[in-house]
């Protein structure tokens, strides 16, 4: 959450789950509002922040209405994450901030054998963006419920294709990163938008 700056106004959390991040968002000055598809999760979240049950690919939020959006450790649970990013770009105010924090796509996934955290072995499969139950261990939940994987370039291009401007990056976890944070901004409208033409610069 270090990528989210201090601010005021609504911060929409996509896939808020039980609302455990609400306190941190509030401590940064924002007013957290959560959206999740799981009614069971939202029953735990409702005492922590205002909530709505909704599909992240069809947010019940007006266009250009919120100054900040966060998605915390949820993108692997969303097979349509590129569509989610398009919704983020739609609901953000011009210049608004979006913070994505998720498992690191280069070092986490069914292709990454983390039996020895100090010597992660990358096996074939990283380049295959797909939904999979493949896992290096049967002691977790991914081999049971599955996860989406996007190679890093494909994930970053999904931000750009949504119209977001990449603003910063951070990695967490040691000795091999397990988490990747991406901050992005909603584009400001072009001064020529809607005019049909833009004055040419004289050279």
CATH number at residue 19: 3.40.50.150
Does 61 reside within a domain? yes
pLDDT for the residue numbered 193: 58
Q: Is residue 191 part of a domain?
A: no
The pLDDT of residue 111 is 87
Query: Would you write out the chain's pLDDT as a tens digit for each of its 203 residues?
Result: 678 999 999 999 999 999 999 999 999 999 999 999 999 999 999 999 999 999 999 999 999 999 999 999 999 999 999 999 999 999 999 999 999 999 999 998 888 888 888 888 998 989 988 777 666 566 666 666 778 999 999 999 999 999 999 999 999 999 999 999 999 999 988 766 555 556 555 54
Asked whether residue 169 is domain-assigned, the answer is yes
Question: Do 143 and 135 touch, CB atoms closer than 8 A?
Answer: yes
202 within domain boundaries:
no
Structural domain tally of the chain?
A: 1
Whole-structure pTM value: 0.88
Q: What separation in angstroms does the CA of 44 have from each of 1, 56, 80?
A: 21, 19, 25
- Domain with 77 in it: 10-104+147-186
Q: Does a structural domain hold residue 140?
A: no
The answer to the question of residue 193 being in a domain is no
DSSP string, 164-195: EEEEEEEEE-SSS--EEEEEEEEPPPPTTTTT
Residue 73 lies in a domain: yes
pLDDT score, position 118: 86
Query: What's the CA gap between 186 and 41, in Å, rounded?
Result: 29
* The pLDDT value given to residue 103: 93
Query: According to the model, what pLDDT value does residue 132 have?
Result: 73
122, part of any domain: no
* Per-residue confidence (pLDDT) for residue 196, from 0 to 100: 57
pLDDT at 134: 66
Angle at the Cα of 202 from the Cα atoms of 197 and 203, rounded to 5 degrees: 135
Question: Given this model, what pLDDT does residue 110 score?
Answer: 85
Would you state the structure tokens that stand for residue 177, as one six-digit string? 């990163």
pLDDT of residue 144: 66
């Amino acid at each position: 959450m270090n990528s989210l700056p201090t601010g005021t106004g609504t911060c929409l959390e996509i896939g808020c789950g039980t609302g455990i991040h609400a306190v941190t968002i509030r401590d940064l000055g924002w007013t957290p509002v959560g959206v999740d598809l799981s009614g069971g999760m939202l029953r735990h979240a409702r005492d922590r922040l205002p909530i709505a049950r909704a599909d992240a690919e069809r947010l019940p939020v007006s266009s250009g209405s919120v100054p900040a959006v966060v998605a915390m450790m949820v993108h692997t649970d969303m097979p349509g994450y590129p569509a989610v990013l398009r919704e983020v770009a739609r609901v953000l105010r011009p210049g608004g901030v979006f913070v994505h924090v998720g498992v690191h796509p280069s070092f986490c996934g069914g292709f990454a054998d983390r039996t020895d955290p100090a010597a992660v072995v990358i096996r074939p499969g990283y380049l295959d963006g797909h939904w999979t139950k493949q896992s290096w261990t049967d002691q977790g939940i991914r081999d049971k419920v599955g996860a989406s994987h996007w190679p890093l370039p494909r994930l970053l291009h999904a931000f750009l294709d949504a119209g977001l401007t990449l603003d910063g990056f951070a990695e967490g976890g040691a000795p091999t990163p397990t988490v990747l944070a991406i901050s992005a901004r909603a584009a400001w409208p072009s001064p020529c938008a809607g005019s049909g033409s833009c004055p040419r610069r004289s050279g």
